[in-house]
Amino acid sequence: MSALQHSTLHPAIRECADAVAATASGIRDDQLEHRTPCEKFTVAELIDHLGGTLMSAARAARKEAQPGESAVAPAMTPRALADSAGRASAAWSDPAAYDGTTDFGPGEMPAAFAASITLHELALHGWDLARATGRPFDLGEDTGRIALGVVEQIAEQARGNGGYGPPVPVPSDAPAFRQALGASGRNPGWNG
């Protein structure tokens, strides 16, 4: 099963990581305080959140222990975020990363689910950063479909813990990634 999950998820993770790195490389200092579609975060705060999550995702893929709560995370810059995206993608390129369980986020979970969450974070928060900074964030339809599947899988729980807002209506014939954005409570037409 892990080979199938790897062959499905890793190309999407790689595409999203590349898009995040391209977005991060274009973020200017004067954009760091801009609001993002993810209401909890400014651009700078989202860079910190996503960069830290991706560092944890790379450790999860390698089945390494996560640092304790007292560990101080390094400050994230746009360049450091781009590097973290690349490292997470590289870590999930190993088919063995999808086997068994791993420590990620709130605790131990199936490794393939941790890979799905990595894709989710890259796709949605990458789009958030791109929209907030006027950058493109284009994903292929296959990656969009995989992202939509992950969003649909976790939507109920994410709404319950405040991670998602109410669904935003999107036409059923819209590209899959636009549907994923709407299902996550994001307005695909968000313009600040």
Q: How far apart are CA 106 and CA 53, in angstroms?
A: 12
Task: Give the CA-trace dihedral at 149, 113, 20, 127, to 10 degrees.
Answer: 40
Tokens of 13: 């993770």
Residue 1 pLDDT: 43
Mean pLDDT throughout 53-61?
96
Q: How far apart are CA 9 and CA 66, in angstroms?
A: 22
Ramachandran angles phi, psi of 108, nearest 5°: -75, 140
Mean pLDDT throughout 37-42?
92
**Per-residue pLDDT tens digits for 69-100:** 666 666 799 999 999 999 999 999 999 999 99
The widest CA-to-CA distance across the chain, in whole angstroms, is 47
Cα 106 to Cα 103, 162, 167: the distances in Å are 8, 15, 24
For the chain, give every domain's residue range.
2-183
Can you name the residues that pair with 110 across neighbouring β-strands?
101
Is domain 2-183 in CATH 1.20.120.450, yes or no? yes
Whole-model pTM: value is: 0.94
Percentage of the chain lying above the pLDDT 90 cut: 84
**Per-residue pLDDT tens digits for 95-113:** 999 999 999 988 899 999 9
